[in-house]
Amino acid sequence: MRTTLRQEGLVDQRLLTNLKISLIGDQGRVRDSFLSMGDQLGLSQIIDSFDADSDFTVYLGNAEVPDFKHPYTRVLLLDDGVLLTQDGSASEGAPSDLQEGGFATIAASLAWQEILRMCDVILPVEIPKKYVTVSLRIDPLTMGDVGDIQEEMILKLDDGGEVPFTLMERDDGTGHALVRARLEQGNEVVDRLLDSLTFRRAAGPSEDPAPSEIEFRLPRVDGPLEGNGIIAGAGGLGSWALDTLIRSFADSSRTGEGVSLSIIDPDLKIETHNLNRQVLYNSGDLGRPKAEVAKERMESSIDGIGVVSYSEEVGVSSLLSLHVPDAATDCDEEGIEWADDSEDFLIGPSLEEDFSDLCNRADFILCGVDNLRARAVLCGISSKIGVPMINAGAQGFHGQFDLFTEGGSCMLCRYGLGVLSQTGPMSCQEDGEVPFGSIVTSTALFGAIEGLAMISVLAEGPDSLDQWPSQISWEGRGNSIFMDYSPGFGMFSNAFEPHDDHSAHIRNEILGGSQGETLGEGVTSD
């Protein structure tokens, strides 16, 4: 599949398509992942032998490197991770059957990113969308009686159009508020400004990039797979996470008995531009709901697994209606009692069972939605029911993974109140002819990491994530990974003290800040 629309703003597709890559070694899982990802990138010249005319050579496992002068990297699976190196003395390990498939996806993603940067096909400027952002800080005290800033502040354009401002932070610590508006292509002033911008590709980098040395390790996992989980978003990240679980079952020869998943995704139509990086889907699935197709793939790939699918949006009411009482006083048979007025846990009529029941059984929530406010709500739900939220995001050549567990931070603690203002999709929306930049290397990398976290919970319980990093970040232009093991409260550590109840923290900020009771439209998982 070479539908590359989303990556054209990130790489020079002509140069990428014409690359000639040598792939040497017999590490089957990594080889399969590498070849598949090469096809998704739109590259066809991959040969099985060393060729001095190749642009780059990838050596898998302990394959011998015959020519150290030729651009190359060695890719090794370790007992507990992945290594990309030029060190000839490094040896491959034997990962757990449960983790080998996920590590193979990670290895292939990092190897391809190394090729992109070392072969100079990454564009110097990322242009994901055509719009202009206007930001300003105001002192609400000097504005008079303007009411709710988010609703009342309007930018009036010369052509008579109006653009509402979005409130990003109610208080930045100085008493001022940050407001922001986005001017779309189609406005005369914006069009004139965008047309005046010219980007030229340099003849080449000022100096050759240095090869990356990447060591990526996670706690080794083995044992039976059992438990229940909620998968919120079955697009780019969610599909790779589910694919990682499929690989885990296949490699370990286990059945899915005892494992139950609830897949929630409101995207009712798989589109062509999804196919180059959303691994669960193919051209025969176009026009169908993602959650429904994901359920079919899981059931056909894993014998005995229990899967339900819902094409719904997670609403704020899901959090507001959720009630977890004192177990000593008013628990029901399942240990959790739900509020009598629990309604509209999910927006839409097709939910076959209460959202409360899904939460009651869940051992984790895996988040792959493209809406920050939806992520915050899911974080509040996970905190209230006492399970970890496995969260990740990927945009262009950047990606980040977050764990939100008991005793740690929440979305608001780590990233501030501004996340509640972001109600529209961050990855799927297109402006005119220019799509939001996305590429399979970053999507597969962080989807696989999420999948390995899910496997860890199913194999060894939620407490197993205590040994994981709380945050993993990746910068693709340098192909570098940073892992943070502190529970941490991120960049907003001075603004928010640790909370005993993150659910109440998020709920109170939503209600106190007049943030409304729905997440808005267009909450998808692309």
Summarize pLDDT for 361-390 with one digit per residue, the tens: 899 999 988 778 788 888 888 888 889 999
The pLDDT of residue 136 is above 70: yes
**What is the chain's mean pLDDT, rounded?**
78
Q: How confident is the model at residue 422 (pLDDT cuts 50, 70, 90)?
A: low
What domains lie within the chain, and their CATH numbers? 5-124 (3.40.50), 131-196 (no CATH), 224-512 (3.40.50.720)
Q: Calculate Rg over the CA atoms of the chain.
A: 24
Q: How far apart are CA 73 and CA 119, in angstroms?
A: 12
Residue type, 7: Q
Q: Residue 426 in contact with residue 372, Cβ under 8 Å?
A: yes
Q: How far apart are CA 447 and CA 400, in angstroms?
A: 10
DSSP state letter for 209? P
- pLDDT on residue 389: 94
Query: Residue range 65-93: average pLDDT?
Result: 91
Burial of 465 (0-12, 13-18, 19+ CB in 10 A): buried
The pLDDT of residue 174 is above 90: no
How many CB atoms lie under 10 A from the CB of residue 111?
30
The pLDDT of residue 513 is above 60: no
Residue type, 308: V
> Please, what is the Cα angle at 217 between 213 and 222, to 5 degrees?
150
How many CB atoms lie under 10 A from the CB of residue 26?
11
Bridge-partner residues for 380, per DSSP?
Answer: none
- pLDDT on residue 54: 93
Q: Residue 241 in contact with residue 454, Cβ under 8 Å?
A: yes
- pLDDT on residue 44: 77
- pLDDT on residue 200: 59
What is the three-class DSSP state of 33? helix
Query: Residue range 7-18: average pLDDT?
Result: 86
Q: How far apart are CA 476 and CA 116, in angstroms?
A: 9
Structure tokens that stand for 75 in this block: 């890719």
Higher pLDDT, 186 or 101: 101
What pLDDT digit, counting tens, does each position of 248-300 carry?
999 999 999 999 999 988 777 887 777 777 888 888 888 888 889 999 999 99
Q: How far apart are CA 211 and CA 57, in angstroms?
A: 13
Considering the entire predicted model, what is its pTM? 0.79
Query: Residue range 5-13: average pLDDT?
Result: 79
- pLDDT on residue 168: 62
